[in-house]
Amino acid sequence: MNHNLYLQFQPHFQQQKTFIDTPKGKVYRYNDSQAQARRLAGALSAAGLTKGDRVAVQVDKSPEAIMLYLACLQLGAVYLPLNTAYTEAEISYFLQDSEPALYVCRPNAINEARTLARQCGVRRVESLGSHADGSLIQLAELAEPMQEIADVGADDLAAILYTSGTTGRSKGAMLTHGNLASNSRALTECWHYGAEDHLLHALPIFHTHGLFVACNITLTAGASMTFLDKLDPEQLLDLMPRATVLMGVPTFYTRLLQSPRLNQTTVANMRLFVSGSAPLLSETHDEFKARTGHAILERYGMTETNMNTSNPYHGERKPGTVGQPLPGTELRITDRESGAALPRGETGMIELRGPNIFKGYWRMPEKTKAEFRSDGFFITGDLGRVDEEGYLHIVGRDKDLVISGGYNVYPKEIEQLIDELPGVSESAVIGVPHPDLGEGVTAVVVPKPGATPNEAEIRQLLSDRLARYKQPKHILLVESLPRNVMGKVQKNQLRAQYQDLYRAKTATA
């Protein structure tokens, strides 16, 4: 049996109905989108790509990028989207690690991309722009549309998504056709997603949330969506009268709440607001409910696991919780060290098992092994407890991770770079409460005796090596870092000490 995720979307591809539209009124119908995806698959195939080949993609958000994703599925190639904010230094690592057969970049970056690809041993580079432009589109115009759909097993790779690690080295999470297909079916069912739904899509399409949750369930249900380049709350409010669903990270909701236009009338046509990727504050949930009458539905996911739990569509959506396991997903809370299951109500490590859980980290068998229990449960690194009604409360993280505006930032990666500066003795990067982004990346730096590194110098060092969103919003110079008796830096203490750093500042500090 062919388990290609593409087959789950195929029933809708004959239709003339809208798949994606844009605020400027451009419409991409299902049948036309499939035709373009087939031409792209034909172009990839003519270029020699075949099942299992990686296609690394760093392009601006566009419907054509989704068609490229569909083309990769059809061909059985492995789609590997990259954050548009990544610098050349970061991309270089991903290209070397994943060894793609093709690197697709933005048209205006083609020359630098070719040089980089050559250095990384990637033989082919094409471009794709956000105005249906780029060399890949030209190739597709000349290509023989591909008709056949690659025969893949449920366990074959559909995508690799890189996620930073606590060691500072990014890991490629291998997601299979079975992972993506099962998760989008579960979400479609749980959120009552149907062909009549219209999603406001303002998330990036290089992460699980904007690509797999948003696009895969739209495609599974045969629904439609408006693609917005980025979050613009006023634009969202303009479009709400003709939409039914919004998916966002918590920053979407805190920013929407700042607009006086957010009220019951503006949202009258909407049936569902979904939040995830970072904790939604109970106050945000309550304030949104008071203003609009809608209880935001919070769910919990991870790059490695897709979506795991969700508050119910019908029934109570409890603020501060991420709901119950999705159908087919098993959840348990364990003792962090021993792995023994804990009784309900106790706080411990969140572990998960099910068809949604990834296959492992790309070419990192040891790391993969370390994050799974012998009975197949994945150790998330998130700490939580399950209440008497079966709702999961995420109470913290065992991993050293900052989530800023829904993007994961691993302190180790930044600390390693800062520590390279000759005048720096050591550093600790922490996340502290930020009114707009949830957590603000903050660097606490200890200069070497007699040295006087300044903030500008540190910023300069980071500027072309780290994506902008990873760069500290604040750099604090201190004499020493607090340590426990074992010599370990006490980040909790630092977080407590600087908890009001951004509170007094403006929302965009």
From 43-51, 203-211, 328-336, 416-424, span contacting ligand MLC (CB under 6 A): 203-211
DSSP β-bridge partners for residue 157: 176
Partner that binds at residue 230, options ligand AMP, ligand MLC, none, CB closer than 5 to 8 Å by kind: ligand MLC
Query: Pick from 100, 129, 406, 472: which binds ligand MLC (CB under 6 A)?
Result: 406
Residue 321 within binding range of ligand AMP, rule CB under 6 A: no
DSSP letter at 211?
I
Taking CB under 6 A as the rule, which mask of x and - marks residues 205-244 in contact with ligand AMP? Answer: ---x------------------------------------
Distance from C-alpha of 356 to C-alpha of 431, rounded to nearest angstrom: 29
Shortest Å, Cβ 390 to ligand AMP = 16
Partner that binds at residue 180, options ligand MLC, ligand AMP, none, CB closer than 5 to 8 Å by kind: none
**Rg (the chain; Cα; Å):** 23
Query: Pick from 313, 469, 474, 482: which binds ligand MLC (CB under 6 A)?
Result: 469
Counting beta carbons within 10 angstroms of the beta carbon of residue 95, is it exposed (0 to 12), middle (13 to 18) or buried (19 or more)? buried
CA angle 141, 145, 148 (to 5 degrees): 160
Query: Pick from 178, 323, 405, 453: which binds ligand MLC (CB under 6 A)?
Result: 405
Shortest Å, Cβ 466 to ligand AMP = 16
Partner that binds at residue 279, options ligand MLC, ligand AMP, none, CB closer than 5 to 8 Å by kind: ligand AMP
Residue 63, both tokens: 């419907």
Q: Outline where DSSP puts E strands in 106-217.
A: 125-127, 157-163, 171-176, 198-201
- What are the C-alpha distances in Å from 184 to residues 187, 192, 275, 483? 5, 12, 16, 45
List, in sequence order, the alpha helices (H) in 344-408.
365-370
The answer to whether 481 and 418 are in contact (CB under 8 A) is no
The answer to whether 461 and 420 are in contact (CB under 8 A) is yes
From 89-97, 173-181, 206-214, 389-397, span contacting ligand MLC (CB under 6 A): 206-214
Distance from C-alpha of 321 to C-alpha of 309, rounded to nearest angstrom: 10
Nearer to ligand AMP, 34 or 303 (CB): 303
Distance from C-alpha of 491 to C-alpha of 440, rounded to nearest angstrom: 14
Residue 156, CB half-sphere, CA atoms under 13 Å: how many? 22
Taking CB under 6 A as the rule, which mask of x and - marks residues 239-268 in contact with ligand MLC? Answer: ----------x-x-----------------
Residue 298 within binding range of ligand AMP, rule CB under 6 A: yes
Give residues in contact with ligand MLC (CB under 6 A).
Answer: 203-204, 207-210, 230-231, 249, 251, 276-277, 301-303, 404-407, 437, 468-469
Q: Which residues bind ligand AMP (CB under 6 A)?
A: 163, 208, 276-279, 298, 300-303, 322, 380, 382, 394, 397, 403, 408
